[in-house]
Structure formats: C-alpha cells, structure tokens
C-alpha cells in the first residue's frame, strides 16, 4: 500500500511496551495537504524534521507533546512533512511528563515539559542519519525518563488503576477505591482532562475504528455488538461525531493511495485495547 510506505508503523522494543502503543515514521508528500485524526485517548510525542504543520490556526512546535483529544482533529501541512513520533499509552503520558496531567485538546513544546533530558534527546534526533536512528534516540529518552529512582512506574500504576476502575462493570467502583462516585470522577478528570464516561466513549471509538480497518469487511451490526453499542445506529452516531465521517467512508478513504486519514491505518496496525474500552453497553459521553 503506497500510503503505508509514506506513513508507517515501526515495531518498538518490547521493554517499552508499558509506555508506548506505537512508533511511527511520517513522510508526507506535498500533495497530502492534511492529516486527520479521530478523537483519541492516547497522546503523541512528535519530532518534525522537515515541513510545517498547523492545527486550529496555531503552528505545531517542531518537537511537541500532543494530548488526547475529545473531537476529530485536522492538521494542515505546509508542503512536504517529515517526522518521527511515539504514541504514548494513556496511563504513561503524565507518568513520564507530569506537566501534561489534566491536559486535553492541546499541544505543548517538549522542551518545556522535560527540560534538559529532552534537550539532549532532541539534539540526538536531529543529528541522526535516518529514521531508525531518530526513533532510537526517542527510545533512549523514554528509558531515561522511566529509569529508577524516577517515580514514573509508581505514577503509571496509579493511573492504570484509575483506568481499570473506570472500565469495571461494577457501579460502585469509586467506593471500592475508597472514594465516592463523585470523588472518583473528579480524580479521573483531573488526571485525563475528561470524565471517565467520556474517556470510555472515546476508547471504545478507537477500538471500533481499529477493528473495522484491521479486519475484512463484515456486518456493521456485528461490529457494533462486539464493542457494546446499543445498535448499529448508536455506533454510527459516535463514529460520525468523534471521527468526523461515516464509518464506511473512513474505511474506504484510509485505504486510498493518498489519504489524510492515514492515522487510522496506523491505529489498525497497532491496536491494543485500553482498560476503559470494555465499558458496559450504552455508556454515554
């Protein structure tokens, strides 16, 4: 597939699996004027080595952390774009970069979040001779940030416990963590910038899209049932609202040789369910 060669998934080292969902290389030609992402519960660490990118009228920093999002997001390209990036697991972002906690629908320069460790990593990325070496520099940065005695692993486990609790089918999950339901929702929202039900809806959307693209075409009613929607129309409303287009149009467009929806194919290659994606049928935002 031509599109997959321009923007493609790269297998990352197994020791980084608690922190990463994907490593990605982007080489977009001038003819590709946009990249379109659905709402996502994961965040991204991106280093652009060529070209310009803007989002909602603001320039994306050359080295940026891009947060989770509650709506479909369009990135405008200024000519050809070359970049490498890592997709962080939801429970990993604030564990590695505490300044990102509670942020959603935003982006931040990495230099302001990680300071000196990032300055050294960025120099290594920009001095690298190829995309493989650039990604290796990013892997070293993640390992450096997570290495003991840094408290990253403890923070990651705390965040994972919140996710697992939010994804539980039990109504009194918050109370089982020693919190009232309201206290649990406040703690969750303080960490991810959105309440647990909204997170569940977006996590389920991500899982639905990845399966729709990764599997051969099948009945949409089965896809809806697999992911806990009331019915096919419920799934269709969520997809259109959070990804911007009907499901079938997204699937067809993402498989075109040149598609702004290339992030969907990356997601399909790397899909890994989030604890919150197992929300009970009928969960609403």
Strand (E) or helix (H) holding 276: none
Cα(26)–Cα(85) distance, rounded to whole angstroms?
8
User: Tokens for 145?
Assistant: 């940030």
pLDDT of res. 15? 97
Domain range summary for the chain, segments of one domain joined by +: 1-285
Q: What is the pLDDT of residue 285?
A: 45
- Picking from 193, 187, 181, the residue whose alpha carbon sits closest to that of residue 158 is 187
Question: Token pair of 203, please?
Answer: 């996590």
The answer to whether residues 283 and 201 touch, using CB atoms and an 8 Å cutoff, is: yes
pLDDT digits (tens, 9 = 90+) for 136-158: 999 999 999 999 999 999 999 99
pLDDT tens-digit series, residues 37-89: 999 999 999 999 999 999 999 999 999 999 999 999 999 999 999 999 999 99
Q: Are 190 and 102 in contact (CB under 8 A)?
A: yes
Q: How confident is the model at residue 284 (pLDDT cuts 50, 70, 90)?
A: very low
Tell me the C-alpha to C-alpha distance, in Å, between residue 12 and each of 138, 139, 219.
11, 8, 33
Q: 60: closest CA among 68, 52, 70?
A: 52
Residue with the bigger pLDDT between 225 and 178: it is 225
pTM for the model: 0.91
Contact, 32 vs 260, CB < 8 A? yes
Give residue 3's pLDDT.
45
Mean pLDDT of 177-192: 91
pLDDT tens for 116-140 read 999 999 999 999 999 999 999 999 9
Query: For all residues of the chain together, what is the average pLDDT?
Result: 89
């Amino acid at each position: 597939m031509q599109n997959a060669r321009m923007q493609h998934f790269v297998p990352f080292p197994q020791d980084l699996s608690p922190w990463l969902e994907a490593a990605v290389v982007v080489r977009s030609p001038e003819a590709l004027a946009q990249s379109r992402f659905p709402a996502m519960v994961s965040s991204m660490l991106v280093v652009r080595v060529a070209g310009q990118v803007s989002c909602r009228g603001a320039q994306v920093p050359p080295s940026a952390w891009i947060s989770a999002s509650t709506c479909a997001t369009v990135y405008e390209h200024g000519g050809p774009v070359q970049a490498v990036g890592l997709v962080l697991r939801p429970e990993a972002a604030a564990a590695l970069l505490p300044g990102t906690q509670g942020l959603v629908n935003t982006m931040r320069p990495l230099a302001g979040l990680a300071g000196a460790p990032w300055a050294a990593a960025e120099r290594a990325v920009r001095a690298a001779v190829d995309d493989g070496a650039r990604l290796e520099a990013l892997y070293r940065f993640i390992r450096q940030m997570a290495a003991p005695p840094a408290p990253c692993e403890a923070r990651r486990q705390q965040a994972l416990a919140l996710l697992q609790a939010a994804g539980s089918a039990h109504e009194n999950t918050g109370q089982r963590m020693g919190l009232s339901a309201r206290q649990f929702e406040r703690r969750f929202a303080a960490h991810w910038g959105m309440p647990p039900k909204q997170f569940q809806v977006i996590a389920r959307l991500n899982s639905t899209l990845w399966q729709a693209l990764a599997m051969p075409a099948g009945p949409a009613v089965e896809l809806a049932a697999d992911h806990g929607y009331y019915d096919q129309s419920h799934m269709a409303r969520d997809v259109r609202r959070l990804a911007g287009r009907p499901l079938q149009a997204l699937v067809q467009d993402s498989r075109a040789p040149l598609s702004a929806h290339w992030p969907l194919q990356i997601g399909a290659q790397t899909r890994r369910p989030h604890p919150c994606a197992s929300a009970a049928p009928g969960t609403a935002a």
